Amino acid sequence: MLEKTYDAVVIGGGAAGMAAALAVREGGHSVAIVDREAYFGGILMQCIHNGFGIHEFGEDLTGPEFAERFISRVLGAGIDIYLDTTVMDITGDEASHVVTACGKDYGVLRLECRAVVLAMGCRERNRGNVAIAGTRPAGVFTAGLAQRLMNLEGYLPGRRVVVIGSGDIGLIMARRLTLVGAQVLAVVEILPYPSGLARNISQCLKDFSIPLYLSHVVSKITGKDRVDGVEVTPLVEGNPDYTKSFRLSCDTVLLSVGLIPENELSRKAGVPLNDDTGGPRIDANLMSASPGIFACGNVLHVHDLVDYAAEEARRCGEAVGRFLSGVSAKQFPLTAGANVRSVVPNFYAPDRENVLYIRSFIVKNDAILSLQIGGSEIKKRKLAHIQPSEMIRLRLQPADFPALRDGRDNLMEVAIR
């Protein structure tokens, strides 16, 4: 068994994990990164399309290019690295934590630390999560798996493809498959509006004349050894109208039906989760209800831009530094109000800058984002267009807050009207 001691251990070597570790190290604290993959970068390494880095670097980068910017800094920062190593457990108390992991190069690792940063990312929902009827033939993939097979392993998943769900990875794969000569017959979306970013709808579907069926479901997958087709059914007032079903003959089905924060390890460690996001409940310092355990990136809530995940992780690393140095601040609760699906974090600290990440429940033009404390509006912002798939990001400065006193109702509510 290899035993080491650090100020902090970061679990996950994607963009969030690297950004958090760098911030911890730049604060003068010792830190290690543990990742189960054999390389840094996480899902970025299979995202060979561009569109990354506009906010973080002011450049239009591919996923590997974005990751490389962080990898080069990590390698030169004096951060200990444990790749190809899987974390099995997090134990301890608020004074000290033990991260137990296994890796082929190290055997069993026992890493003792004062702070843990959860940055394990997210995973895809699959066929079992959406309960599609039919047989179980080969040729059914999640969109992310198909992306990995094509971009990292060099395999073509299929030649006649139907994509279920209009999530961003599915849209990007529709374009990628078309570019290599496959035929994408349709993207089928259960909602009356697309789930992906507007730019991906335009660049991945409209530019290639790929049909998008809104308010439709794939009601059945058919085939014995290999997929040979799907049945597509329109929804009328939310209910399938099987009299209008039609069949698409295909050999491959890709599912792009949402992402879930990867929190099995968090649950095992006893970290309370937020029902709205699927990630840990966190305070204004991005620390969970388990003292000393922090969370950032897609393990906390699914981001639409990796730039924002990296930004959030950097603030998390800075908060870890304050925690290790014994610096604290007053905090008050924050909650989602009307038409808001989720808001992260779950507390705010009025004495310093706060960045809120908000998801809408509705699609609307000319919306108003409103923040209230004790029933009084402290800030509002006009939004030209909102939809659930696009995150709203809001910065709050100390000047935005009224004078707050302990014992008052200082709950902040975020609402959309």
Task: Assign residue 84 a region (left: φ > 0; alpha: ψ between -120 and 50; beta: otherwise).
Answer: left
**Predicted confidence (pLDDT) at residue 404 exceeds the cutoff of 80:** no
Are residues 262 and 280 in contact, defined by beta-carbon separation less than 8 angstroms?
no
Type of residue at 272 = P
Q: How confident is the model at residue 405 (pLDDT cuts 50, 70, 90)?
A: low
**Predicted confidence (pLDDT) at residue 6 exceeds the cutoff of 90:** yes
Q: How confident is the model at residue 18 (pLDDT cuts 50, 70, 90)?
A: very high
**Predicted confidence (pLDDT) at residue 407 exceeds the cutoff of 70:** no
Q: What is the pLDDT of residues 344-399, one digit of tens each?
A: 999 999 999 999 999 999 999 999 999 999 888 999 999 999 999 889 999 999 99
Q: Centre a 10 Å sphere on the Cβ of residue 299 and count the other Cβ atoms it contains.
A: 27
Cα 10 to Cα 294: distance, rounded to the nearest angstrom: 9
pLDDT of residue 135: 87
**Predicted confidence (pLDDT) at residue 165 exceeds the cutoff of 80:** yes
Q: Any residues with CB less than 8 A from the CB of 1 and at least 6 apart, and which? A: 107, 108, 109, 110
pLDDT of residue 157: 96
Domains located in the chain, CATH noted: 1-125+258-328 (3.50.50.60), 126-257 (3.50.50.60), 331-417 (2.60.40)
Which of residues 151 and 130 earns the better pLDDT score?
151
Cα 112 to Cα 408: distance, rounded to the nearest angstrom: 40
pLDDT of residue 406: 65
Q: Choose among 44, 79, 36: nearest CA to 61.
A: 44
Q: What is the pLDDT of residues 223-233, one digit of tens each?
A: 999 999 999 99
Calculate mean pLDDT across residues 32-59: 94
pLDDT of residue 196: 86
pLDDT of residue 232: 97
Cα 167 to Cα 187: distance, rounded to the nearest angstrom: 10
Calculate mean pLDDT across residues 397-413: 83
Q: How confident is the model at residue 205 (pLDDT cuts 50, 70, 90)?
A: very high
158-159-165 Cα angle (round to 5) = 70
Element (H, E) at 127: helix 127-130
Calculate mean pLDDT across residues 58-82: 95
Backbone angles phi, psi at 191, to 5 degrees: -80, 160
**Predicted confidence (pLDDT) at residue 260 exceeds the cutoff of 90:** yes
Burial class (CB in 10 A: 0-12, 13-18, 19+), 19: buried
Question: How far lies 122's CA from each of 17, 82, 97, 299, in Å?
Answer: 13, 20, 23, 6
Which tokens sit at 193? 């509006």
Q: How confident is the model at residue 66 (pLDDT cuts 50, 70, 90)?
A: very high
Q: How confident is the model at residue 127 (pLDDT cuts 50, 70, 90)?
A: confident
Q: How confident is the model at residue 61 (pLDDT cuts 50, 70, 90)?
A: very high
**Predicted confidence (pLDDT) at residue 408 exceeds the cutoff of 70:** no
Question: How big, in percent rounded to 5, are the helix, strand and coil portions of the chain?
Answer: 25, 40, 40
DSSP-derived pairing of the beta strands 332-336 and 412-416: parallel
Q: Any residues with CB less than 8 A from the CB of 48 and at least 6 apart, and which? A: 62, 63, 64, 151
Q: How confident is the model at residue 403 (pLDDT cuts 50, 70, 90)?
A: confident
